[in-house]
Amino acid sequence: MVTVNMHDAKTRLSSLVEGLESGRENEIVLARNGKLVARLVPYSAPKRFGAAHHILAGLNLPETVEEFNAGDGEIAADFEVSGEQDIFP
């Protein structure tokens, strides 16, 4: 862990972030007047969708727009069939 005062952090922000990105540092603590006030840590994307995670976990969803647009026609076919049905018998 590296501790940096606020003035140095403002001056060296790019190099501090570079240290986090490269893995050279795993945490940088910022201090103001000798008091620890904040932590800089590498960003890691959330691995879950929060509450929707349980709903979406079993679905095989496309990962890219191209995959979504390519599709296999199943959903379009379902819409076509439902459009042919008489809604109001």
DSSP-derived pairing of the beta strands 28-32 and 35-40:
antiparallel
- Residue 19 counted as domain residue: yes
Angle at 14 between CA 7 and CA 39, to 5 degrees: 65
31: in domain? yes
Task: Give the range of the structural domain holding residue 70, as residue numbers without chain letter.
Answer: 49-84
Given this model, what pLDDT does residue 37 score? 96
Is 65's pLDDT higher than 60? yes
- More confidently predicted of 87 and 6: 6
Domain shared by 36 and 55, yes or no: no
Band of the pLDDT at 66, cuts 50, 70, 90?
confident
Q: Does residue 10 lie within any of the structural domains?
A: yes
The C-alpha angle with vertex 42 and arms to 38 and 46, in degrees rounded to 5, equals 110
Examine residue 7 and state whether it is found in any structural domain, yes or no: yes
Task: Name the strand (E) or helix (H) holding 5.
Answer: strand 2-5
Task: Decide if 20 is inside a domain.
Answer: yes
- List b or e across 47-71, with b for residues whose CB sees 16 or more CB atoms inside 10 angstroms: eeeeeeeeeeeeeeeeeeeeeeeee
pLDDT of residue 60: 72
pLDDT of residue 24: 95
List, for residues 2-51, the tens digit of each pLDDT value. Answer: 999 999 999 999 999 999 999 999 999 999 999 999 999 998 876 665 66
- Which is higher by pLDDT, 82 or 25? 25
Please give the Cα distance from 30 to 5 (Å, whole number). 6
